[in-house]
Amino acid sequence: MATTITREFLEQIPKTDLHLHLDGSLRIPTLIELAKEANIPLPSETEEGLNELVFKEKYEDLPDYLRGFGLTCAVLQTAENLERVAYELAQDSIAENVRYIEVRYAPQQHIHPGLSMDEVIESVNRGLERAQKEHNQSPAVRQNGDIPFHYGIITCAMRFFNRHMSAYYAQLFDVMPNAPAKEVIAIASLELARAASRIAHEKGIPVVGFDIAGAEAGFPAIDHRDAYQYAHVHFIKKTVHAGEAYGPESIFQAITECHADRIGHGTFLFATDKVKDPTVKDPAYYVSCLVDYIASRRITLEVCPTSNLQTIPAIQTVADHPLRRMLETNLSVSICTDNRLVSRTNVTRELELVCQQLPVSVAKLRNIILAGYKGSFYPGPYNEKRALVRQVTQRYDELAEKLLGPQQD
């Protein structure tokens, strides 16, 4: 008889969140307070009202899901607000025993004449670093009773933007008035990759990864190839939002053209019907080879179940999610939140949904938890990362013995 994985166990085990958007993970009271201070109108000034009108349990489609980001980005236009929100996000993660997070955001959405690229990244880092120091200096950590908290920063370029999305984007279109939008977007991505590398090297800020986000269909990752090549040769690790709203070809392109070390979502990895390239004569064989490559290279998939349920109508429950096949194929899978606010979730809740609706054993869950740490873009030496994985493994096994008993499967 299989061991029942309890909520208490999921709460106490040390977890990761590798796919975590800063601007999608504010506390609602903080959003309301910051909006009032900046005279930014909200659809409601109460938590209940915003949950009903904006941050819903179910969304009509992806544009409906993304609506709230217009509000959150609007209040994140000062160094103080960026620092505060980053600090609170780290606090919320630590409170549920998440011990490693990678916070991603698009710095260029926050740049304006009063706030530079460096200041945006430095502000977020200050907030994360403050929370880290508070936790790691606690008696529990100092006496080896708890696991230290670590974090990395992932800078996000946009697959598409227009001049109205930020002052930075408007200025870029002004200096390139006759250039195709595709070229302007590519330049912005390359500039961000250069800034990420420079800031990580010169200032010691743990900018550990580069990403692109936004609409996949019609805005292929290959348009950002120069930025990814720059990140690649400057030792910045790469992840790509791919296979969330497009098919296996998007994932293939992320790996072959952008050197992706990880894939954000990867939801349509197995969707042979979405292979559109006419040169692919056997879609089933193509997908089989792609899956095998991802498995053998241990390219971690950052799976965000609730977010997918909210934005992909074809997926009604976690039991319907391709995560089942990902686990059956022994892919490296890490369970993530995507957006704690917009999806009204946390890591514990995501893991609970998975364990309730899929055949996940204690051993399989152990692999999922460790995949988050092993697949992380950890900002320290490899030997430190290995030591952290060993510490997490020991903690997991101790909690399994204590809370679930010796017969685990």
Catalytic positions, written as ranges:
244
The CA–CA distances, whole Å, from 290 to 19, 84, 294 equal 22, 41, 6
SS (HEC) of the chain? CCCCCCHHHHHHCCEEEEEEEHHHCCCHHHHHHHHHHCCCCCCCCCHHHHHHHCCCCCCCCHHHHHHHHHHHHHHCCCHHHHHHHHHHHHHHHHHCCEEEEEEEECHHHCCECCECHHHHHHHHHHHHHHHHHHHHCCHHHHCCCCCCCEEEEEEEEECCCCCCCCHHHHHHHHHCCCCCHHHHHHHHHHHHHHHHHHHHHHHCCCEEEEEEECCCCCCCHHHHHHHHHHHHHCCCEEEEEECCCCCHHHHHHHHHHHCCCEEEECCCCCCHHHCCCCCCCCHHHHHHHHHHHHHHCCCEEEECHHHHHHHCCCCCCHHHCCHHHHHHCCCCEEECCECCCCCCCCHHHHHHHHHHHCCCCHHHHHHHHHHHHHCCCCCCCHHHHHHHHHHHHHHHHHHHHHHHCCCCC
Nearest to 109 by CA among 172, 60, 27, 153: 172
How many degrees, rounded to 5, is the angle at CA 72 between CA 338 and CA 267?
A: 20
Residues 335 and 371 sit within 8 Å (Cβ to Cβ) = no
Count CB atoms within 10 A of the CB of residue 20.
26
Tokens of residue 333, six digits: 């899978």
Rounded distance, CA 186 to CA 179, Å? 11
How many degrees, rounded to 5, is the angle at CA 63 between CA 70 and CA 324?
A: 115
